[in-house]
Structure 1
Amino acid sequence: MLSSNQLAGTLPTTFAGLKNLTNFRINDNNLNGTIPDLIQSWTQLERLELHGSGLQGPIPAKISLLRNLKELRISDINGPMQNFPDLTNMTGLVRLVLRNCNIAGEIPSYVWMAPDLQMLDLSFNQLTGEIPDDTNMERMRFLFLSGNMLSGKLPESILKDGSNVDLSYNNLTWQGPEQHACRKTLNMNLNLFRSSSTGNPLQESLPCLKDSICSKYSKCWFINAGGNDLTMEVNNKSVLYNGDANVDGGTAKLYTDHDSYWGLSSTGDFMDDDDFQNTRYTLSLLSSNLSELYSTARRSPITLTYFHHCLDNGNYLVTLHFAELQFTNDETYTSLGRRKFDIYIQDRLVLKNFDIEEEAGGAQKPTEREFANVSVINHVLEIRLYWAGKGTTRIPQRGSYGPLISAISVYSDVKYCSIHENGKTKTVAIVIGVTVGVLCVASIIILGLLRWKSTLRAIRHNKGGTDLAGIEVQTGIFTLKQIKAATNHFDSCNKIGEGGFGPVYKGELVDGTIVAIKQLSSKSRQGNREFLNEIGMISCLQHPNLVKLHGCCIEGDQLLLVYEYLENNSLARALFGPSYSRLNLDWPTRLRICIGIAKGLAYLHEESSLKIVHRDIKATNVLLDGELNPKISDFGLAKLDDEEKTHITTRVAGTIGYMAPEYALWGYLTYKADVYSFGVVALEIISGRSNNDYVPSETCVCLLDWACHLQQSGNLMELVDEKLRSEINEKQAENMVKIALLCTNASPSVRPAMSEVVNMLEGRMGIPELIPEPSSYNEDLRFKAMRDMRKQQQNQQQQNQSLSESQTQNSTQNSTMRTFGSSSTSGNEFYDINPEPRSSSST
């Protein structure tokens, strides 16, 4: 047993001679290299533990030779994605832990039929498939499958009395609060937090909640973790911290406070601490160094999640309070413990390997971390602490030391959180004042709504129809006077491009904010509908890789959108625009841009409650900020997904060369259409060439066509931009090309989800090997539209032979990037005309 010894280096090859070894534990160390094949020699081994050892994956195939294993525990290994290891020979397994090991695919059937298995922990992998109805796991007490992509219904066969089942963070079919799993008569611990994908954030968080409507929305949230209710001063205001001391612990715990709309989820088991009391989940310590807020804490073996599901939408200041209560500062044995964990807010990693003692300057000392502008867009805020196998597991006593927290403070403005008032008279006065204030505000809102409705009625009357109905707007409103002041009355010098349905101007608001203002063209009735559609879409979406919408203006016959201004224009101009506009994008920058686009699409497809298919992903619709971070723009074509359908048959609208074949030819629309478009853009990023403008030979009609030929011939490096070849790693480049070609596969079912693309690009998931088909690409439906367009160009040139050379060039250019169908979206860039327009007056 070599755990918690800070060992470094690799395992000595001489260890292969330990033929009679029965127990090998090397948790919590700093080893390097992969898990060695030498372990196959330990055929007498009964227990193998590799938690947070530092060793890399994959798990060696020859582990199957260890037939006598009763306990196999491996967790938190980096390395390539792998299939489930072959464990068929380990018929006597009692505990099997393969947590966070980059395992993909389905769980083998023999695992579900293991008769002696009492614990199965396969959390935080990429496992898919369904949990079978027929299992032979009679002795199973602990089943942890959190953080995977399991689908299908929840079978009743795994819901046994006295068991602990954690299915949080999966993709199961939501069966509603009437399902068997929601019955209060179940004598077990069951965690279904975010176990299904419904498109409703509240249903996903609390699938057994019958009443899914918030009676009110809060602007603040305070938790005293591990303690009782506590009143404290925050910015000279008295606020109430809700205590959770009375919340029982548990290995698969999901608790909700139905009165205050918050809850917690705790996963994992302290397997080796021999403490089966609730005290292991809450801690308390009386110390002169600690205020009452820091004298208690809640901890968890693996993951501890706090969530509030009825917060007002907007930006919040989140403060997390910590104090290490389990270790000491003296030179005793209890001072040797170490605790490290990761912190996520709204599913984004904000702190990695967080060490409370290191941050506070010792144990039993308070510390806090603030996170400003945390966005809440679906009324749900989630704070998750995850133990990634690091820190001590045996010092000062046995058991893992997972995440720990003392308190949580969340508010947009603390004035909304005050509960402390003195005196009856003052209370009455406040009630009267609040009542009058509410009546005044209500009057203003009603007048505003009447004016808003009359404006929309006028627009609908002028533009002829009901296309503008049903749009919910959640953004700021600008007046036409403000817009004119920002753009100097739409001065042509401030015109920076042509957007999807009208010109785009650079403007400066009164507060100095530089913005891009998109003006709806009065020529297109369809543009009006797309304009209101875009408002409804973007006002609900907030992500670092999506263009931010500041507000809109609907006044008279003017319809305008006010966006953030992106200094570095579009990705298209940066890669293959005019020479003066091109940017020197090195390989790390291009990879970062590619990952950013993928993350933006993954948010639209899988994380946003709206589940949006963009439909027009291309380099001109990707803008770059001052630090060359990519942001997806132009949601005018965005199509809301209907979750009751596997696809949408719709009017085709997009750009030839970027549209998936099933969408371009038959109007068959799924998320995989965006995946295809992303693949084309990724090829453009790698090569520095435009898909539609690059025709290397008579046999290839576009960049993607050429890439497919290079794949067949095994010459993928020819695709890489010549400017990068001296600095690039060939293996990295080939991997990125393979990902792009996987995304542009002719079959939608073969294309990966965007979350999988992100994992592949970041090296957390292996890239499937696809053998290119030997058939001729001339018959490939992916290139039919491009071939038709090339023929159209040739015919047009023949018909216009009498025109001047400049007219011919203009005509060809206009047809090269034409849009498909009746969409109003053009192929022009968001910013296209004046590279440096003068700033408008803000007066």
Structure 2
Amino acid sequence: MKNTVTNTVLVLAFFVTFTHIPFTIARQNSTRVFYYSDELGTEGEFDSVPSALTFDNPRLKRAYVALQAWKQAIISDPFNFTSNWVGSNVCNYTGVFCSPSLDDPAIKTVAGIDLNHGDIAGNLPEELGLLNDISLFHVNSNRFCGKLPWSFEEMKHLYELDVSNNRFAGKFPTVVLRMPNLKYLDLRFNEFEGKIPKALFEKKLDAIFINHNRFAFELPENIGNSPVSVIVLANNRFHGCLPTSLGNMSSTLNEMVLSNNGLHSCLPKEIGLLKNLQVLDVRKNELMGELPFSIQEMESLERLDLSHNMFSGAVPQHLCSMPNLQKFNFNHNFFKGEPPMCLGLEQSDDGKNCFHGRPVQRSRLQCKMFLTRARSQDCSVFNCRPPPSPPKN
């Protein structure tokens, strides 16, 4: 068993510096890649780089190694995105963008990757960590599979990571938490599963898209610590309560989409603190109870979708007269009171509720049975936790 280490496919070691990245990659029975940079800046050679190739600087040489390793990891490229990934001029490769380095403008380096909509199949090799100067990595709408490489933690300048609409799987890629400058995270339409680490909501991100995966978890109370302007968590397998800490996001949050999950609670009154929220979509959950009157204080709200839940009671009197509200869907609930202003909205759907005299409503028997049961419960039955008290001085 001690000799099984000889069967290791990939051995990876990082010793991070800013300009030179000591980086060793060895493959069993192969000399395809070997590179190092020691503390004195002495650089080893990439065994896979043809001696006839010349590079303007070592960073472009590292980029060549990374891109050639990636090309070998691609098994299908129907639109020939990588067909011109040949030779030392990596800045002319399709989908590769170069610019002056942030730490030394005299050095030209690979600053971005954009292979969106390529329908490319393959995986992401560890060698991609050699692209440590890039600020964006976009590969949405392809057929990449496997996991995000741990070497991505070397991408210290990465600002945007978009790997959406691929076939990545496994647990949440915690390597993204090690990217200090990441602001835009898009993991949607993949096969990720399991829990979301609480640390995600402590990270200084501006946008989080993790919808259409298989994440299954209870929204943590610290979600309110996130400074995002957009958060889309739809079509996963959540459960539990809507944390009251959502109200802490009032200064930054513009859009929140939580549709088609297993959320089972009431809307907390703190939702009304989201004065800058323009889009709130919680359709297709198991939310119930009466709407808090504070929802009328969401003065920036333009689109509100509460449909396909179990809300009851009356729609708050002034909700439909909010100055910016354009679209309000509250069909497939058990509301029994509707302000006249709601009938005047240009885009509104009140069907399948318990409104007398309105078309396409639930039957009286169905409404009576549900409302009788609902009266025996209140929001306290969900045992939703209050926000933690601030520390005492």
TM-score (structure 1 length as normaliser):
0.25
Superposed CA RMSD in Å reads 3.9
The reply to whether residue 149 of structure 1 matches residue 262 of structure 2 is yes
Task: Quote how far apart the aligned CAs of 1:262 are.
Answer: 8.4
- Counterparts of 1:211 and 1:92 in 2: how far apart (Å)? 40
Give the structure 1 partner of residue 237 of structure 2: 126
Shift of 1:206: 4.4
Offset at residue 29 of structure 1 (A): 1.0
Residue of structure 1 equivalent to 2:210: 98
Residues 101 and 17 of structure 1, relative CA distance in 2, 3 Å threshold: same
- Give the equivalent residue in structure 1 for 2:282: 167
Structure 2 counterparts to residues 71-220 of structure 1, below 5 A: 71-79=184-192, 81-88=193-200, 91-114=203-226, 116-134=227-245, 135-137=247-249, 138-159=251-272, 160-163=274-277, 164-175=279-290, 179-180=292-293, 183=296, 186-188=299-301, 189-196=303-310, 205-206=332-333, 210=337
Runs of 4+ in structure 1 deviating by more than 4 angstroms, as ranges, are 181-187, 206-209, 641-646
Asked if the contact 1:35–1:59 (Cα under 8 Å) also holds between the matched residues in 2, the reply is no
Per-residue deviation at 1:19?
Answer: 1.5
For 1:752-783, what per-residue CA distance to the aligned partner results, in whole angstroms no more than 9, with x for missing partners?
xxxxxxxxxxxxxxxxxxxxxxxxxxxxxxxx
Could you tell me whether the CA contact under 8 Å between 1:123 and 1:144 is conserved in 2? yes
Amino acid at match of 2:177: S
Q: Residues 206, 184 of structure 1: CA spacing in aligned structure 2 closer, same or farther, 3 A cutoff? A: farther
1:289-300 equivalent positions in 2, closer than 5 A: none
Q: Specify the code of the residue in structure 2 equivalent to 1:124.
A: N
Percent identity reads: 18
Q: State how 1:406-417 maps to structure 2 within 5 Å.
A: none
Q: Distance in 2 between matches of 1:2 and 1:57?
A: 22
- Trace 1:306-385 onto structure 2 (pairs within 5 A): 310=360
**Distance (Å, rounded) in 1 between the aligned partners of 2:236 and 2:201:** 23
Q: Of the candidates 107, 127, 134, which is equivalent to residue 21 of structure 1?
A: 134
Contact 1:131 1:155 in 2 (8 A): yes
Q: How does 1:456-605 map to 2 (within 5 A)?
A: none
Q: Distance in 2 between matches of 1:192 and 1:16?
A: 43
Could you list the per-position Cα deviations for residues 191-215 of structure 1 after superposition, in whole angstroms to 9, with x for gaps in the alignment?
11123367xxx98724655169xxx
Pairwise CA distance, 1:82 = 0.3
For residues 113 and 184 of structure 1, what CA distance do their matches in structure 2 show? 21
Kept in 2, the 8 Å contact 1:35–1:57? The answer is no
Per the TM alignment, residue 77 of structure 1 is displaced from its structure 2 partner at its CA by 1.4
Q: Aligned in 2, Cα 1:207/1:141: closer, same or farther, shift over 3 Å? A: farther
Return the alpha-carbon distance in structure 1 between the equivalents of residues 231 and 290 of structure 2: 25
| Structure 2 counterpart SS, 1:190 | strand
For normalisation by structure 2, the TM-score amounts to 0.50
User: SS of the counterpart of 1:99?
Assistant: coil
Q: CA deviation at 1:69?
A: 1.1
By relative contact order (CA 8 Å, sep 6+), the higher-ranking structure is 1
The answer to whether 1:53 aligns with 2:166 is yes
Measured in 1, the distance between the counterparts of 2:153 and 2:298 equals 47
Contact 1:45/1:69, CA 8 A, preserved across alignment? yes
2:172–2:195 contact (8 Å) kept in structure 1? no
Taking a change above 3 Å as real, the CA distance of residues 203 and 45 of structure 1, as seen in their structure-2 partners, is: closer
Q: Does structure 2 retain, via aligned residues, the 8 Å contact 1:88–1:110?
A: no
Q: Which amino acid aligns with 1:310?
A: V
Which residue of 2 is the match for residue 65 of structure 1?
A: 178
Q: Deviations over 1:532-589 (max 9, x none)?
A: xxxxxxxx9xxxxxxxxxxxxxxxxxxxxxxxxxxxxxxxxxxxxxxxxxxxxxxxxx
Return the match for 2:154 from 25, 29, 41. Answer: 41
1:669-710 CA-to-partner distances (Å, cap 9, x unmatched) read xxxxxxxxxxxxxxxxxxxxxxxxxxxxxxxxxxxxxxxxxx
1:108: Cα distance to partner? 2.5
Whole-angstrom distance in 1 between the partners of 2:133 and 2:334 = 50
Q: Distance in 1 between matches of 2:238 and 2:204?
A: 23
| CA deviations over 1:340-393 (Å, ceiling 9, x no partner) | xxxxxxxxxxxxxxxxxxxxxxxxxxxxxxxxxxxxxx67xxxxxxxxxxxxxx
Offset, 1:109: 2.9
How many angstroms does 1:169 deviate by? 1.6
Give the residue type in structure 2 aligned to 1:103.
F
Q: CA deviation at 1:75?
A: 0.6
**Greater Rg over alpha carbons, structure:** 1
Deviation at 1:18, TM superposition (A): 1.3
Aligned partners of 1:57 and 1:101 also within 8 Å: no
1:4 correspondence with 2:121: no
2: CA distance, partners of 1:262 / 1:643: 17
Paired residues of 2:172 and 2:196 also in contact (CA < 8 A): no
Q: Give the alignment of 1:424-439 within 5 angstroms.
A: none
Report the AA paired with residue 309 of structure 2.
Answer: S
Q: Is the 8 A contact 2:219 2:243 kept in 1?
A: no
Contact 2:160 2:185 (8 Å CA) reproduced: yes
For the 8 Å contact 1:9–1:31, the answer to whether it is kept is: yes
Deviation at 1:610, TM superposition (A): 7.7
Closer/same/farther in 2, CA of residues 19 and 107 from structure 1, 3 Å limit? same
Gaps of 5+ in 2: 1-113, 313-328, 340-344, 378-393
Task: Give ranges in structure 1 of 5+ residues lacking alignment.
Answer: 213-245, 249-254, 264-307, 312-377, 380-471, 473-539, 541-608, 612-640, 647-843
1-side partners of 2:219 and 2:212: how far apart? 14
Q: Work out whether residues 67 and 90 of structure 1, in 8 Å CA contact, stay in contact via their aligned partners in 2.
A: no
Q: How does 1:711-750 map to 2 (within 5 A)?
A: none
Task: Tell me how far 1:166 sits from its aligned partner.
Answer: 1.2
Give the Cα separation in 1 of the matches to 2:229 and 2:136.
Answer: 19
Retained in 1: the 8 A contact 2:223–2:243?
A: no
**Change over 3 Å in CA distance of 1:610–1:58 after alignment to 2:** farther
| Aligned counterparts of 1:181 and 1:166: Cα–Cα separation in 2 | 17
Deviations 1:588-609, CA, capped at 9 Å, x for gaps: xxxxxxxxxxxxxxxxxxxxx9
Aligned-partner Cα distance in 2 for 1:166–1:203:
11
Residues 158 and 67 (structure 1 numbering): CA distance in 2 closer, same or farther, change over 3 Å? Answer: farther
